[in-house]
């Protein structure tokens, strides 16, 4: 049997679900925004690291990486015959680098990163499975000032690239597990109750929490603006064990709200979706009118058996780009094939994008329009098209 070669060009351009080509000018626009975000991190003392795209699954899923098991593509390494994982999150890799390769260096350790990740399935708000992340981690400090630095770093990075109307939502993913343990709810009930709280499912909460349902309902009702939320949380009959968590939340929220009138701060005490490996304060950034989170972060345990204080954030470029204006085309200058190289270098130093011809043409203007150029080089100077 012979197979006929498929010569249909449309089929050759098809990509797997959730993957896409990034075309001009969007690819350059994304790269510029990524560098702008990273530049803010580097100016704040965060040094860039670059983890590999693929790792052994044993290391990729250790510590905070355990939460990413079900979202990670896996494959067999033909060299070592061991299972590998194609990263679905960069934070877990940076945590590995910090605890191993950089474990002996100065602390606090400040690291930043950017790169692509791949997810097995898209989330509810984003159909894409290949995502671009930008983030930073502060390792070796566990206090409210460290939390504040990380939150402000993410906020400043977003503001620096032009994101407007930013809001900050604080959460405390460590609260519910500690509360469930302290009031004696069975271990097997805890995850179900946490899921019910995420969905704000009052009937499920009543069924799972029994006599304590009122306490958990009170936590849901405490969500809102930071000062109102703190007041409601203090009015609840919560065990003293969780007081340090709430004190830390109040300290961070009050400081940020006082320092920046432009940043709206809210609190959701029971939100935990996506914060599974966080062990303290968590936070998310949003922009009014923009679908999805700009990014999220919080405090987590660095690695298995390692209690080093770690706090960081990840920004999601797909959402960040939705919060920004469409990219504009920079001035492109069409230059004749005979132009002197020194002149070309001078034009580029002045900020022009030069597009050189390979042969003489009848009309520079027509050729410029065909090649999407805004200017032509005529009479030894740039001239804007009419």
pLDDT tens-digit map of 248-273: 999 999 999 988 888 999 999 988 77
Is residue 276 included in any domain, yes or no? Answer: no
Whether 222 and 133 map to the same domain: the answer is no
Angle, helices 226-235 vs 243-259, to 10°: value is 160
Print the domain residue range for 256: 174-270
Give the model confidence (pLDDT) of 36-79 as tens digits.
Answer: 999 999 999 999 999 999 999 988 887 767 778 888 999 999 99
Say how far apart CA 225 and CA 265 lie, in whole Å. 6
Greater confidence (68 vs 243) lies with 243
C-alpha distances (whole Å) from 153 to each of 15, 113, 148, 238, 311 are 36, 13, 8, 32, 12
Out of 148-152, 180-184, 209-213, the most confident range is 148-152
Residue 126 gets which letter from DSSP? B
Token representation of residue 98: 């910090």
Cα–chain center distance at 164: 17
Whether 42 and 156 map to the same domain: the answer is yes
Token representation of residue 151: 């939150």
Cα–chain center distance at 44: 18
Token representation of residue 271: 């939100």
Residue 313: its H or E element = strand 306-316
Say how far apart CA 174 and CA 61 lie, in whole Å. 21
pLDDT value of position 11: 64
Whether 345 and 245 map to the same domain: the answer is no
Whether 122 and 234 map to the same domain: the answer is no
pLDDT value of position 357: 95
pLDDT value of position 59: 86
Mean of the pLDDT values across residues 360-379?
93
Whether 39 and 151 map to the same domain: the answer is yes
pLDDT for 304 beyond 60: no
With contact defined as beta carbons under 8 Å apart, do 384 and 374 qualify?
Answer: yes
Give the chain's domain count. 3
Whether 184 and 143 map to the same domain: the answer is no
Counting residues of the chain whose pLDDT is more than 70, the rounded percentage is: 94
Lowest mean pLDDT among 81-85, 204-208, 263-267: 204-208
Does a cis peptide bond (omega within 30 degrees of 0) precede residue 385? no
Is residue 1 included in any domain, yes or no? Answer: no
Kindly report the pTM of this predicted structure: 0.89
pLDDT value of position 6: 52
CA atoms lying within 13 Å on the CB side of residue 352: 23
Q: Which residue has the tokens 């043409």?
A: 361
Average pLDDT of the chain is 89
Whether 117 and 22 map to the same domain: the answer is yes
Is residue 4 included in any domain, yes or no? Answer: no
Say how far apart CA 91 and CA 60 lie, in whole Å. 10
pLDDT for 135 beyond 80: yes
Residue 132 gets which letter from DSSP? E
- Give the chain's radius of gyration (CA, Å): 26
Lowest mean pLDDT among 2-16, 91-105, 247-261, 303-317: 2-16
Whether 155 and 70 map to the same domain: the answer is yes
Whether 264 and 179 map to the same domain: the answer is yes
pLDDT for 4 beyond 90: no
Counting residues of the chain whose pLDDT is more than 90, the rounded percentage is: 63
Greater confidence (229 vs 197) lies with 229
Query: Of 270, 294, 313, which residue is a domain's last?
Result: 270
């Amino acid at each position: 049997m012979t197979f006929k070669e498929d010569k249909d060009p449309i089929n050759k351009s098809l990509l797997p679900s959730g993957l896409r080509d990034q075309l001009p000018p969007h690819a350059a626009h994304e790269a510029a925004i990524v560098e702008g975000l990273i530049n803010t991190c580097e100016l704040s003392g965060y040094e860039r690291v670059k983890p590999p795209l693929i790792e052994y699954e044993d290391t990729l899923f250790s510590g905070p990486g355990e939460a990413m098991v079900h979202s990670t593509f896996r494959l067999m390494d033909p060299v070592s015959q061991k299972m590998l994982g194609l990263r679905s999150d960069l934070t877990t890799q940076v945590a590995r680098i910090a605890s191993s390769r950089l474990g002996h260096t100065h602390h606090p350790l400040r690291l930043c990163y950017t790169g692509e990740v791949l997810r097995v399935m898209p989330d509810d708000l984003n159909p894409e499975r290949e995502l671009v992340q930008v983030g930073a981690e502060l390792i070796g400090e566990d206090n409210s000032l460290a939390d504040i630095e990380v939150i402000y770093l993410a906020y400043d990075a977003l503001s620096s690239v032009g994101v407007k109307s930013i809001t900050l939502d604080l959460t405390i993913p460590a609260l519910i597990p500690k509360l469930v343990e302290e009031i004696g709810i069975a271990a097997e009930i805890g995850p179900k109750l946490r899921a019910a709280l995420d969905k704000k499912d009052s009937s499920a909460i009543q069924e799972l929490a029994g006599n304590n349902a009122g306490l958990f309902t009170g936590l849901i009702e405490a969500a809102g603006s930071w000062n109102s939320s703190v007041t409601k949380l203090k009015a609840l009959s919560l065990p003293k064990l969780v007081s340090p968590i709430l004190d830390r939340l109040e300290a961070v929220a009050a400081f940020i709200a006082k320092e920046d009138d432009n940043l709206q701060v809210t609190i959701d005490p029971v939100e935990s979706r996506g914060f599974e490996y966080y062990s303290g304060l968590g936070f998310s950034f949003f922009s009014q009118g923009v679908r999805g989170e700009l990014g999220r972060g919080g405090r987590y345990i660095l690695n298995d058996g390692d209690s080093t204080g770690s706090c960081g954030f990840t920004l999601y470029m797909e959402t960040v780009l939705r919060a920004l204006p469409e990219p504009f085309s920079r001035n492109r200058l069409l230059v004749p094939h005979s132009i002197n190289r020194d002149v070309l270098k001078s034009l580029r130093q002045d900020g022009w994008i030069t597009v050189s011809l390979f042969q003489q043409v009848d009309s520079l203007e027509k050729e410029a329009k065909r090649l999407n150029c805004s200017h032509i080089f005529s009479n030894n100077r740039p001239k804007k098209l009419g």
